[in-house]
Structure 1
Amino acid sequence: MSTAVVTGAGSGIGAATARALASEGYRTLLVGRRAERLEAVAEKIRAAGGEAGVHPLDVTDREAVDAFAGAVEECAVLVNNAGGAFGADSVEEGDPGDWARMYDVNVLGTLHVTQALLPKLKASGDGVLVVVSSTASYVNYEGGGGYSAAKHGAHALTETLRLELCGEPVRVVEIAPGMVQTDEFSLNRYNGDEAKAAQVYAGVDAPLTAEDVADTIAWSVTRPSHVNVDLLVLRPRAQAAQHKVARRNS
């Protein structure tokens, strides 16, 4: 049984991806900051007959990441999903601390885990490295400067890595979701303001779910070894672009 590591696995897309990969027969190692959330996801995987391990750590802590990677016997799949948006202010009024946090987790966190596990992905002889970026990696929008900058960084890292690994037994996949409604993403962005978080999805007919994105990730990972899904952008039908979303009249 091959091992898949999923970061940010305690909730949302990460949790759904861990479940999806477990259903495909992978032993899943769940990485995230909140042990109790990880354990809850792992229990669901085990109840369904899968194997899951829980590894609480912060991907921005390089020493902790290296220690984790050193304890992993083998790794065939890595899903770099840990990330997030903090704040929705204009560039003029944005908090540099929020920008730094977003770069730290979305870019440097991905870098830390990738560097730590890449030797084992190569050693597997058929590794798959997935980065969950965003449509914000390609299209900027008002109030999204810091998040877009970080996700542009994640895209640059992924594209560069694919070039550098050409000829190696590792596929590099980027999944770029648009509007996904999860329990925490918008709440975190708006510092727990439930009204503002709900407004993001108001009137939108069927935003993407975490399971939609997880299904796409699992499909990409399970393509034949010679097939690399370089970049896959997915949005709900109601969203044509960052700034073009169909909403029902309230």
Structure 2
Amino acid sequence: MQKIIIHGAGGAIGGAVAEEFSRSGAELFLAGRHLDAVKKTAERIRAAGGGPAHVSEVDAYDQLAVEAHAKAVAEDAGGIDVMLNAVAIPLVQGPPLLEMSVDDVVAPAAAWLRTQFITARAAAAHMVPRGSGTILTLSASPARVLIAGVGGFAAACSAIEGLTRTMAAEFGPAGVRAVCLRSQRILETIGSTPDLPMPLDEFTRFLESLTTTGTLPTLGEVAKAAVFLAQGGAESLNGSVLNLTGGMSAD
């Protein structure tokens, strides 16, 4: 039974991935800053007859808290097999760069790089000595396409893909993989507030028009891809980006 840590397990992506891993028979260690939301994910898993789902209140931006949680999981469970960080980041989109403050442009990359590195390093510190493990990171289509209005989000996504490659190079010889999932905007996460200044239906059609399929990825598709990377015969993938953008970014 794989031991899976998911930070941001109370959110849409983290929750969906947790449920999919549970269906595959994994033991889950769900963490998040908002404990009530994490508990709801665990409740859905238990209601569906899933396996063990442990809940912890952990701020994924707090290095000491993350390291303490990883240490506890490794000791109690006998190791960590997979770690995913799906927490939210500060993000301002819509205004042109010439009208944005330096802080608003820099904040997404600084925050995303910080939390992904903190959680990845904490998990890898226990994976490397065991000689196995998978670190999953998250990116998005702006990492590889020219698109206006996304502020510092494209830089944040590119930073995480770069970090993933570096981790793969450094941890790979010890048997620990690092792989990134890059998706287009996920359909269920659009909500009622578009990222760009346009009506919701227009924003959704705009996102769909950027793909070659005319459709957006779903939470279920992203979750299944995460499980595939960790369990489904993807052992040769290391430092790679799994492209779930519907063709918006070609590589």
- 1:144 aligns to what SS in structure 2? coil
Q: Judging changes above 3 Å, is the alpha-carbon distance between structure 1 residues 225 and 131 closer, same or farther for their aligned structure 2 residues?
A: same
Output the CA distance in 1 between the equivalents of 2:177 and 2:204: 34
Q: Residue 241 of structure 2: which of 227, 231, 242 is its match?
A: 231
Q: Judging changes above 3 Å, is the alpha-carbon distance between structure 1 residues 235 and 171 closer, same or farther for their aligned structure 2 residues?
A: same
Per the TM alignment, residue 95 of structure 1 is displaced from its structure 2 partner at its CA by: 3.2
Quote the residue 2:227 is aligned against.
218
- Note the alpha carbon deviations across 1:60-89, whole angstroms, 9 max, x for none: 122222222232222110112224461112
**Within-5 A mapping of 1:165-180:** 165-180=171-186
Quote the residue 1:17 is aligned against.
17
**Within-5 A mapping of 1:13-92:** 13-47=13-47, 48-73=49-74, 74-84=79-89, 86-88=91-93, 89-92=95-98
Output the CA distance in 2 between the equivalents of 1:18 and 1:165: 24
Normalized against structure 1, the TM-score is what? 0.84
The sequence identity of aligned pairs, in percent, is 24
- Note the alpha carbon deviations across 1:192-226, whole angstroms, 9 max, x for none: x9x75554214745421111111111111113374
Q: Judging changes above 3 Å, is the alpha-carbon distance between structure 1 residues 110 and 176 closer, same or farther for their aligned structure 2 residues?
A: same
Q: Are 1:241 and 2:241 an aligned pair? A: no
Q: Judging changes above 3 Å, is the alpha-carbon distance between structure 1 residues 91 and 172 closer, same or farther for their aligned structure 2 residues?
A: same
Query: Structure 1 regions of 5+ residues with no counterpart?
Result: 243-250
Letter in 1 for 2:243: V
Query: Structure 2 regions of 5+ residues with no counterpart?
Result: 209-213
Quote the residue 2:139 is aligned against.
133
Q: Residue 200 of structure 1: which of 187, 203, 214 is its match?
A: 203
| Residues 5, 82 of structure 2: 8 Å contact kept | yes
Normalized against structure 2, the TM-score is what? 0.83
Per the TM alignment, residue 129 of structure 1 is displaced from its structure 2 partner at its CA by: 0.9
Quote the residue 1:142 is aligned against.
148
Per the TM alignment, residue 181 of structure 1 is displaced from its structure 2 partner at its CA by: 1.7
> Alignment RMSD, CA only?
2.5
Q: Are 1:151 and 2:161 an aligned pair? A: no
Quote the residue 1:106 is aligned against.
112
Per the TM alignment, residue 159 of structure 1 is displaced from its structure 2 partner at its CA by: 0.8
| Residues 76, 124 of structure 1: 8 Å contact kept | no
Output the CA distance in 1 between the equivalents of 2:177 and 2:192: 31
| Residues 8, 86 of structure 2: 8 Å contact kept | yes
Q: Judging changes above 3 Å, is the alpha-carbon distance between structure 1 residues 199 and 124 closer, same or farther for their aligned structure 2 residues?
A: farther
Query: In the comparison of the two structures, how many residue pairs are matched?
Result: 236
